[in-house]
């Protein structure tokens, strides 16, 4: 391998300075690579004739339906565990997982979207009347985490034969004072 010294004239943009020279050391191998890549770049012709190859992407299959999301919520399946359940089911029925929108973040976003839509639907369906009858009854139910039992107070409003559940708040104890504070 031979090393050559090349003198290059570099002109500066400033009018006050004159041109100066720098010494660049290059090998034959790098010179051959430069000339080869330049010749390959000019073989395509003009830029107007070059047509890039466009790969068509198949649309992804959205398998996350409201029924599936509500079933996952009812069974207390986390987003990550949902992936571990759904992926083998898809492969067993012959669906390629790469053709679906299946990821932890997709499952989480879809769950939040369906919950928001459900809450908005409940708010829109809520009927307002002038006179209501309020029903409540204290119940001892298992906590959502399943670790212990807690006192809950379901509160229902009834007007003209229509019952609407307002909520089921958690209470420290089932005393009358706690029930009144939960209702108000």
- Among residues of the chain, what percentage have pLDDT more than 70? 70
Query: What mean pLDDT do residues 142-162 have?
Result: 80
Mean pLDDT of 35-41: 50
- According to the model, what pLDDT value does residue 18 have? 44
Residue 108 falls inside a structural domain: yes
Q: Is 178 a domain residue?
A: yes
122 membership: H or E segment, kind and range: helix 104-125
Average pLDDT estimate for 71-81: 90
Do 120 and 71 lie in a common domain? yes
More confidently predicted of 14 and 167: 167
Rounded CA-CA distance 24/22 in Å is 6
pLDDT given at position 16 = 45
Number of domains comprising the chain = 3
Whether residues 137 and 160 share a domain: the answer is: yes
Please tell me whether residues 74 and 115 are part of one structural domain: yes
Tell me: do 121 and 138 sit in the same domain: no
Residues 72 and 116 in one domain: yes
CA dist., res. 88 & res. 72, Å (int)? 16
- Residues 168, 138: Cα–Cα separation, whole Å: 9
Structural domain boundaries enclosing 168: 133-183
- What pLDDT score does 42 carry? 53
Q: Flag whether 22 is in a domain.
A: yes
**Per-residue pLDDT at 71 exceeds 50:** yes
Q: Which residue has the higher pLDDT, 39 or 151?
A: 151
> Which H/E stretch holds residue 176?
helix 176-183
Q: Is residue 145 part of a domain?
A: yes
Between 26 and 159, the higher pLDDT residue: 159
Same domain, residue pair 113 and 159: no
Model pLDDT for residues 98-112, shown as the tens digit of each residue: 888 888 898 999 999
Q: Would residue 30 count as lying in a domain?
A: yes
Looking at the structure, do residues 154 and 114 belong to the same domain, yes or no?
no
Residue where a domain terminates, one of 125, 157, 175 = 125
**Geometric angle at alpha carbon 153, from 147 and 155, rounded to 5°:** 140
Q: Answer yes or no: is 8 within a domain.
A: yes
Determine the pLDDT at residue 67.
92
Quick check: is 61 in a domain?
A: no
Tokens 């609407």: give the residue. Answer: 164
Provide the pLDDT for residue 46.
62
| Residue 8 confidence class, pLDDT cut points 50, 70, 90 | very low
Number of residues written out for the chain: 184
Q: What angle is formed at CA 129 by the lines to CA 125 and CA 135, rounded to 5 degrees?
A: 85
**Higher pLDDT residue, 27 or 96?**
96
Residue 169 in any domain: the answer is yes
């Amino acid at each position: 391998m031979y090393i050559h010294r090349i003198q290059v004239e570099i002109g500066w943009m400033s009018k006050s300075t004159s041109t100066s020279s720098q010494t660049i050391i290059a090998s034959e191998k790098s010179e051959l690579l430069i000339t080869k890549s330049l010749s390959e770049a000019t073989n395509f012709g003009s830029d107007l004739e070059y047509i890039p190859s466009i790969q068509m992407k198949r649309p992804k299959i959205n398998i996350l339906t409201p029924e599936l999301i509500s079933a996952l919520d009812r069974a207390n399946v986390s987003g990550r565990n949902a992936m571990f359940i759904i992926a083998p089911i898809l492969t067993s029925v012959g669906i390629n997982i790469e053709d679906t929108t299946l990821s932890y973040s997709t499952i989480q976003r879809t769950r939040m979207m369906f919950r928001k839509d459900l809450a908005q639907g409940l708010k829109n369906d809520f009927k307002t009347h002038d006179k209501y009858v309020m029903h409540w009854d204290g119940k001892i139910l298992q906590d959502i985490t399943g670790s212990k039992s807690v006192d809950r107070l379901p509160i229902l409003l009834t007007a003209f034969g229509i019952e609407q559940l307002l909520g089921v708040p958690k209470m420290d104890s089932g005393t009358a004072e706690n029930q009144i504070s939960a209702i108000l």
